[in-house]
Structure 1
Amino acid sequence: MAGADEALFRPVRAGNAFEETVERLLQSIRLGVVGAGERLPPERELAERLGVSRVTLREALHALSDAGYVESRRGRYGGTFVRETLPTPVVDEQRPDLEDTLRLRHVLETGAAELAACSLRDPGRDHLIATLEEAGSASLTDYRRRDSRLHLAIAEVTGSASLTSAVADVRMRVNRLLDEIPLLEPNLEHSNTQHEAVVSSILAGDAPAARQAMKEHLEGTASLLRAFLS
């Protein structure tokens, strides 16, 4: 029978390697598989077990270090250790239900991407390209607003006011959840690449590819939200 560490440190999916690595590591810490003050497996072993590059693993560990969950120690008995005192989650009584929000977002935004690829017209093409460029060049402090604007633009070019309104509502819920977790630069870089894949598929009129690219993008965000908020 597989132990908890074997279950948590199994290979991640390639599409969102950074985000899922953060999720797995945080799960192992929060569930006590690696307890406070204990050392995580060596980098080489952990990277092999998770099926990620050591660069990706180090980015994930750096993100968790910045967030206050782990610390690096040098020397003969060094490595990456879980901090003795972990961050206290902020409990917001008005927080939207996480899983309900993620499910609703999946249905609305994958559908919006698919429909946009089927119904895109010339004015919409220009609007979509412009909002993609704005999101890609956004500063860290302005990123979430530009990201939201791009997701709304995808709904807007479908020509459905009702769908756009529904996407706007769920995006408000998502942003309230995102405001509770740290901005991780590797995730933002990855998101920009995924945005380009979504928009490219829409511009090409490839509805199945647009839906799949959006699905993969949303799964990355969902992994981080579950990691920090579950």
Structure 2
Amino acid sequence: MTAHVPPDVRRTVYRPVRGGNALEDTVARIVQTVRLGVVAPGESLPSERDLAARYEVSRDTVRQAIGELADAGYLERRRGRYGGTFVADPVPAPARLELTAAELDDVLGLRRVLEAGAARAVASRQLTEAERAELRARHAAVHAAPEAEYRRRDTLLHLAIAELAGIPSLLALLTENRARVNAWLDAFPLLARSIEHSDIQHDRIVAAILAGRPEAAETAVLEHLAGSEALLRGFLA
């Protein structure tokens, strides 16, 4: 029960989140709170105001995170005098994956190296008009994707960036790595607010590449990957 949770555990799960991916980190932190039993099934979370203060994010971010997790079946909102946000009872079962923490670290670490390096390499090249048009088309396709198609089109955009780097072995490695990550992403719900955040980050990545700014492209990719990494660790770790 909540009363028996060690203070150090409480401080850890309620510590401030990082600034770059506040929504994804807040979702992941709340999932960890539920998975660790810091708040038991049927018990209430701290108020939105309290969570916002602990995580050092806006109340709107907390409200969005709670909404996503309520839609996914992890939380329940109740109105009235005894209302609030409660952990679902029962909590959805975690995805059954043969996955170790070391494997997760390895694959996600390689992903950061490959995708950030690919974006930097593309932004360092003088792209042809045809290549620029292809990148814009892939980017537009992700923006226009219905929810059921989003992850597929997102993957195609990332692979297009790798292909434009002009390094065949890099594309092969990134394709294999992306396939493993996608299998894990498919184990938990696609969050609507996360899609909106992802689209904004895609805008920054593509803009930096087209402007020929390698460092900005690399930074934008790393920020983008950190969001999905937070969700993976929250739902699967």
When normalised by structure 2's length, the TM-score is 0.92
Deviation at 1:99, TM superposition (A): 2.2
8 Å contact from structure 1 (residues 95, 177) kept in 2: no
Which of 38, 41, 48 does residue 36 from structure 1 map onto? 41
Q: Does 1:116 align with 2:122?
A: yes
Alignment of structure 1 residues 32-181 onto 2, 5 Å:
32-93=37-98, 97-122=103-128, 123-181=130-188
Hey, what's the Cα distance between the residues in 2 that align with 1:98 and 1:176? 12
Q: 1:8 corresponds to which letter in structure 2? A: V
Hey, what's the Cα distance between the residues in 1 that align with 2:97 and 2:35? 19
8 Å contact from structure 2 (residues 95, 236) kept in 1: no
Hey, what's the Cα distance between the residues in 1 that align with 2:81 and 2:97? 42
Which of 211, 216, 220 does residue 213 from structure 1 map onto? 220
Hey, what's the Cα distance between the residues in 1 that align with 2:127 and 2:72? 43
Deviation at 1:94, TM superposition (A): 8.1
Q: Which runs of 5+ in 1 are unaligned?
A: none
8 Å contact from structure 2 (residues 95, 188) kept in 1: no
Alignment of structure 1 residues 182-197 onto 2, 5 Å:
182-197=189-204
Hey, what's the Cα distance between the residues in 1 that align with 2:80 and 2:189? 30
When normalised by structure 1's length, the TM-score is 0.94
Deviation at 1:170, TM superposition (A): 0.9
Identity of aligned residues (%): 49
Q: Does 1:12 align with 2:11?
A: no
Which shifted more, 120-129 or 130-139? 120-129
Hey, what's the Cα distance between the residues in 2 that align with 1:57 and 1:120? 42
Hey, what's the Cα distance between the residues in 1 that align with 2:63 and 2:142? 26
Q: CA RMSD in A?
A: 1.8
- Pair 84,226 (structure 1): closer, same or farther in 2 beyond 3 Å: same
- How many residue pairs get aligned? The number is 230
Q: 1:3 corresponds to which letter in structure 2? A: D
